[in-house]
Amino acid sequence: MDNIRVILWALFASLLYVSYMVWQQDYAPEPVTEIPVDAEAQAVADLPAVAAPADTAAGGDLPPAATQSTPDSAATPALTSNVVNVKTDVLDIDISSKGATLVRADLTAYPLNKDNPDVPVRILNSDNGEHYHLRSGLRSAAQPAAAEATHLADFVARADEFVLADGDDELVIPLIWEQDGIRVEKTYTFKRGFYGIELSQKVTNNSDAPYPVFPYLQIQRFYVPQERSMFNVDSYSFDGPVVFDGDSYEKLDVEDLEEEPLNGNYTNGWIAAIQHHFLSAAVPQGDEPVAYSGVFDGRNYTVTSSSPIVTVAPGATEEFTSNLFVGPKLQGQLDEVSDGLSLTVDYGILALLAQPLFWLLQQVHKFVGNWGWTIIIVTFLIKLAFYKLTETSGRSMAKMRKLQPRLKALQERYKDDRQAMSAALMDLYKREKVNPAAGCLPMLVQIPFFIAFYWVLLESVEMRQAPFMLWITDLSSRDPYFVLPLLMGGAMFVQQKLNPAPPDPVQAKVMSILPVVFTVFFAFFPAGLVLYWLTNSVLSVLQQWKINKALGADDA
């Protein structure tokens, strides 16, 4: 009996741990201290170091940076504004003429709120100084300092607005910078239905001296500490900078970066800033080591990749390419942009289980077309996969139910001698070939699936605002009327009545309150997760009822 008690309490503790993720109390983060910032000085400080990036960490003294450009070609007209607007079928982006930096990105296919579909999710922005920018540039290692097309340089384009035309699959946006015989053409290429962006920085050296230069990519974002709330599922997903070193993926604690900045050389890596369901990422190209740095100045966090130096000879041209991503965490598109980028869909420690679950959900959804029915069907398939295990357990529990009168008699006989009662119970179990612990096994097996399913529903952007039917219009948020949690609690209550009560009064009380505890906890879980557990409970009830009936018929 002690073993049963340990298993029950381990089960209960595991469930409490999962529920704790949703039932954390709101806490107020320390307010961000406003630090007066000189914009120009800060922009210069954000430039990566001029030392060879693969050998020397970012930081140190910087030579003067070019802040103005003078285009030599009259064929390229200047902008009439300081922003180039780009519209595709899925993106509405602003590119600043200052550094040809991406300063705003609206995801037109993703409303911020279902009740207000005309307001899209905005990732990059320049609002009220709390900016979030995706930068790129070229730094020169020439001595004395040469002209540089950094994110401080002024670029020009042939128009203020570019729109992906009907029938076109690609939109190319070139921006030009020229100074002291150095010409840089920075080109963004957008594709229909795709959130990945190809970036090319082509350097032409029309001067008389060699031009040593290296490209860099940089994400800078105003830091807002996360506020945890059981009413806001967005707050449980990591929000901040991440880096991939070619093998592993690391989430960076922003406040730790102030004391211990990131500093490393990685091959086939990338940088990103992630939030719930969405991200921006920058992927340098090439198989050579790239220097990665990350800092926090008390206001903004900045992550940078700096590629190796290449010397462009007089009269020669060199092109540096890279990939950017600004959009939702669509795993297929992320994998197309770079290896490992789909890891930003953070399924936690059970990713190995969550990934195939998500794959199965996708395959079923291709035929069903509704994520709610997809969850029900996948739950049925999971139940089918564990049918034999559950049946063996169910038979054991049905036998335990038939032994209830004899168990109660033993408890009455040995109520003052717990040692003798335990010995008598074990002897009864042995004679009747019943294993009381077998009834707990299916639930223990389901706990990893429960946690993995939780993260799949929480993290997969495909579930975001996905409707089911009737009042369930968003499977990634809680049931607004708590109908599903109540139905689930009722199904668990019926399931409990079909199973034998534990002989130990303490265990019996714990089991009796579980339906109530689950109902309260699940009230704030995503509706899709509650639908999964409700379906699982109903199927368990039907299976146990069938087993109980079959055993009763056999005895007759």
Convert the pLDDT of each residue in 350-372 to its tens digit: 888 898 999 999 999 999 999 99
Instruction: Read off φ and ψ for residue 270, nearest 5 degrees.
Output: -165, 165
User: Bridge partners of 202?
Assistant: 185, 319
Exposed/middle/buried for residue 313 (C-beta within 10 Å: 0-12, 13-18, 19+): exposed
Sign of CA dihedral 246, 252, 256, 259: positive
pLDDT level of residue 55 (50, 70, 90 thresholds): very low
Sign of CA dihedral 232, 238, 241, 246: negative
- The pLDDT value recorded for residue 85 is 95
> What is the CATH topology of the domain spanning 41-342?
Beta-galactosidase; Chain A, domain 5 (2.70.98)
CA distance 153 to 355: 43
User: Bridge partners of 188?
Assistant: 173, 199
Sign of CA dihedral 149, 151, 153, 158: positive
Task: Give the tokens for residue 285.
Answer: 């190209």
pLDDT for 513 beyond 90: no
CA distance 554 to 556: 5
114-151 tens-digit pLDDT: 888 889 999 999 876 778 999 999 999 887 778 899 99
User: Is beta strand 83-87 parallel, antiparallel or unpaired with respect to 91-96?
Assistant: antiparallel
- The pLDDT value recorded for residue 494 is 86
CA distance 458 to 475: 9
Q: Any idea which residue has 């910032």 for tokens? A: 37
Task: Give the tokens for residue 147.
Answer: 């002209």
- The pLDDT value recorded for residue 33 is 38
- The pLDDT value recorded for residue 109 is 93
Across the range 411-440, mean pLDDT stands at 68
Task: Give the tokens for residue 545.
Answer: 């009822």
Q: Highest mean pLDDT range out of 297-306, 492-501, 540-549?
A: 297-306
pLDDT level of residue 170 (50, 70, 90 thresholds): very high
pTM of the complete model? 0.79
Q: Which of 198, 331, 323 is nearest to 277 (CA)?
A: 331
- The pLDDT value recorded for residue 394 is 63
Is residue 172 helix, strand or coil? strand
- The pLDDT value recorded for residue 22 is 41
- The pLDDT value recorded for residue 458 is 82
pLDDT level of residue 431 (50, 70, 90 thresholds): confident
Instruction: Read off φ and ψ for residue 450, nearest 5 degrees.
Output: -60, -50
CA distance 415 to 413: 6
Across the range 157-162, mean pLDDT stands at 92
Is residue 47 helix, strand or coil? coil
Helices (H) and strands (E) in the chain, counts: 13, 19
- The pLDDT value recorded for residue 57 is 37
Q: What is the DSSP track for 238-275?
A: --EEEEE-SS-EEEPPHHHHHHS-EEEEESS-EEEEEE
CA distance 223 to 219: 12
The H or E element containing residue 140 is strand 132-140
- The pLDDT value recorded for residue 143 is 72
- Hey, how many other C-beta atoms are within 10 angstroms of the C-beta on 258? 14
pLDDT for 258 beyond 90: no
Give the percent of the chain with pLDDT over 70. Answer: 73
CA distance 512 to 47: 63
CATH 2.70.98.90 in the chain, residues? 41-342
> Residue 125 in contact with residue 132, Cβ under 8 Å?
yes
Higher pLDDT, 320 or 351: 320
Q: Is the bond into 356 cis (omega within 30 degrees of 0)?
A: no
Range from 43-57, 120-134, 296-310, 474-488 carrying the lowest mean pLDDT: 43-57
Please report, as a single letter, which amino acid is at residue 556. A
213-227 tens-digit pLDDT: 999 999 999 988 876
pLDDT for 416 beyond 90: no
CA distance 527 to 409: 44
- The pLDDT value recorded for residue 40 is 53
Higher pLDDT, 401 or 60: 401
User: Bridge partners of 274?
Assistant: 240, 279
Is residue 261 helix, strand or coil? coil
